[in-house]
């Protein structure tokens, strides 16, 4: 139903090769998920694709064969089944909330006028994952999107956390987001899953810098040593694999949502991937089996033709640490999942962590 192609990031002409894999088109939308090592200028300058192109850099790719790194994935939505309106939102640090709401309302109206007979409607977003602006962006979008379900991911930079880009109109942009509003002939389902369950171990954020997503003290103690103590570990043992295996969650709207830890700062502060504030009660969570949980969850979708996924980098790290990457890749391949590993996921009006947030596409005749 959707076209897919994957090439190494050092391919001499990646766009031309990917365009050949996708086919003649035309496409309502082409999505590119590129390793940060790729030559983004060369990738965006090659106008080989038969449709508008948006994309982002990744913390790893989900290729047709499963987890991959160091390449460029292209996903094409055929114009025979989809129609799209694209918005580029620049300067997130000084976001024009009212202007964004107006743009969203106009884009939705234009799309509805173009394809009033197509029932499926969804939004797909990519945002600079180092902008620290996802929560503010989602709050602004909630009004303009209305009931339209949204799936999104924060662009990555591998495990370096230096710079991440979104791609639009031949440009690689920082401090920006790109959004596609889409209508389709067949049914779609936007969903979100994680394999975590809360424990009885709780902690309170007693000092934080919310603007920078930094926690300085937990339970009135320096943050990293206190988190390590609760795990029964030494502070020097904390690393991204520890954070993936022992996340913390907050309860919002009747559900637990992960507030994933990105890194330990040199001074012992904890830097998070998502919004954090003083007074928050954090609960330590523990994972179920990653492979069997994902397989069960995707089987429960009852036969989509394709799935486009934004998958947190911490899920990939957990798979690596537990040496189940090949088994997880086989599940992804079998269920026809493609997409990218993210620094965070957007699900409807929320910015979340350590989830798979995705769109399942069903054949038009099954709608």
**Dihedral through CA 224, CA 227, CA 232, CA 238, nearest 10?**
-50
250-268: pLDDT as tens digits: 887 677 888 888 899 999 9
Q: How confident is the model at residue 365 (pLDDT cuts 50, 70, 90)?
A: low
Claim to verify: residue 71 and residue 140 sit in the same structural domain: yes
End-of-domain residue from the set 267, 286, 305: 286
End-of-domain residue from the set 286, 313, 345: 286
Claim to verify: residue 322 and residue 230 sit in the same structural domain: no
367 pLDDT above the threshold of 50:
no
Claim to verify: residue 62 and residue 134 sit in the same structural domain: yes
pLDDT of residue 255: 76
125-159: pLDDT as tens digits: 999 999 989 999 999 999 899 999 999 999 999 98
Tally of domains within the chain = 2
Q: Is the dihedral of CA 100, 106, 107, 112 positive or negative?
A: positive
Claim to verify: residue 60 and residue 148 sit in the same structural domain: yes
**Dihedral through CA 92, CA 93, CA 98, CA 101, nearest 10?**
20
70-105: pLDDT as tens digits: 999 999 999 999 999 999 999 999 999 999 999 999
CA-wise closest residue to 349 among 122, 58, 145: 145
Number of neighbouring beta carbons within 10 Å of residue 315:
23
Q: What angle do CA 338, 258, 175 make, to 5 degrees?
A: 65
Claim to verify: residue 247 and residue 346 sit in the same structural domain: no
Claim to verify: residue 145 and residue 31 sit in the same structural domain: yes
pLDDT of residue 47: 64
Claim to verify: residue 256 and residue 270 sit in the same structural domain: yes
Average pLDDT over residues 148-173: 94
d(CA 327, CA 329): 5
pLDDT of residue 46: 63
- 154-178 burial, b at 16+ Cβ within 10 Å, e below that, comes to bbbbbeebeebbbbbeeebbebbbb
Q: How confident is the model at residue 366 (pLDDT cuts 50, 70, 90)?
A: very low
Q: What is the mean pLDDT of the chain?
A: 92
Claim to verify: residue 51 and residue 155 sit in the same structural domain: yes
Domain that holds residue 317: 3-193+291-366
Model confidence, pTM: 0.91
The token pair at 296 is 């069960």
Claim to verify: residue 47 and residue 180 sit in the same structural domain: yes
Claim to verify: residue 169 and residue 231 sit in the same structural domain: no
Average pLDDT over residues 317-324: 92
Q: Are 148 and 112 in contact (CB under 8 A)?
A: no
Q: Are 22 and 74 in contact (CB under 8 A)?
A: yes
177-181, 185-189, 203-207, 251-255: range with lowest mean pLDDT: 251-255
Average pLDDT over residues 109-114: 94
Name the region of 110 (left: φ>0; alpha: ψ -120 to 50; beta: rest): alpha
pLDDT of residue 276: 87
2-58: pLDDT as tens digits: 999 999 999 988 888 999 999 988 999 999 999 999 988 888 776 678 899 999 999
Angle between helices 313-321 and 290-299 (to 10 degrees): 130
Claim to verify: residue 331 and residue 360 sit in the same structural domain: yes
pLDDT of residue 221: 94
Claim to verify: residue 271 and residue 339 sit in the same structural domain: no
End-of-domain residue from the set 268, 286, 304: 286
CA 332 to chain centre: 16
CA-wise closest residue to 85 among 106, 101, 64: 106
- 12-48 burial, b at 16+ Cβ within 10 Å, e below that, comes to eebbebbbeebeebebbbbbbbbbbbbebeebbebee
pLDDT of residue 150: 97
Q: Are 81 and 364 in contact (CB under 8 A)?
A: yes
pLDDT of residue 333: 97
């Amino acid at each position: 139903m959707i076209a897919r192609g994957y090439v190494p990031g050092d391919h001499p002409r990646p766009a031309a090769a990917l365009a050949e894999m996708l086919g003649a088109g035309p496409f309502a939308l082409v999505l590119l998920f590129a390793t940060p090592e790729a030559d983004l200028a060369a990738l965006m300058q090659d106008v080989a694709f038969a449709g508008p192109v948006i994309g982002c850099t990744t913390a790893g790719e989900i290729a047709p064969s499963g987890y991959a790194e160091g390449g460029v994935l292209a996903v094409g939505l055929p114009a025979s089944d989809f129609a799209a309106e694209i918005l580029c939102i620049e300067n997130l640090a000084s976001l024009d909330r009212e202007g964004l709401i107006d743009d969203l309302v106009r884009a939705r109206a234009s799309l509805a006028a173009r394809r009033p007979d197509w029932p499926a409607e969804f939004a797909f977003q990519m945002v600079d994952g180092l902008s620290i602006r996802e929560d503010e962006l989602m709050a602004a979008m909630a009004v303009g999107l209305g009931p339209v379900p949204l799936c999104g991911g924060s662009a990555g930079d591998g495990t370096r956390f230096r710079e991440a880009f979104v791609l639009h109109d031949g440009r690689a942009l920082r401090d920006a987001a790109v959004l596609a509003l889409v209508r389709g002939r067949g049914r779609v389902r936007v969903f979100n899953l994680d394999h975590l369950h809360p424990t009885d171990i709780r902690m309170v954020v007693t000092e934080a810098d919310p603007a920078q997503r930094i926690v300085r003290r937990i339970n009135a103690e320096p943050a990293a040593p206190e988190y390590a103590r609760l795990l029964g570990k030494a502070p020097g043992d904390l690393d991204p694999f520890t954070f993936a295996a022992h996340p913390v969650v907050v309860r919002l709207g009747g559900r637990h949502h992960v507030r994933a830890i990105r890194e330990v700062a040199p001074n012992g502060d904890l830097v998070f991937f998502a919004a954090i504030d003083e007074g928050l009660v954090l609960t330590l969570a523990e994972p179920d089996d990653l492979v069997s949980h994902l397989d069960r969850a995707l089987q429960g979708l009852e036969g989509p033709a394709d799935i486009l996924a934004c998958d947190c980098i911490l899920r990939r790290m957990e798979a690596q640490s537990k040496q189940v990457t090949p088994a997880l890749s086989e599940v992804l391949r079998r269920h026809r999942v493609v997409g990218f590993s993210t620094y965070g996921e957007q699900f409807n009006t929320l910015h979340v962590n350590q989830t798979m947030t995705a769109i399942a596409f069903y054949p038009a005749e099954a709608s």
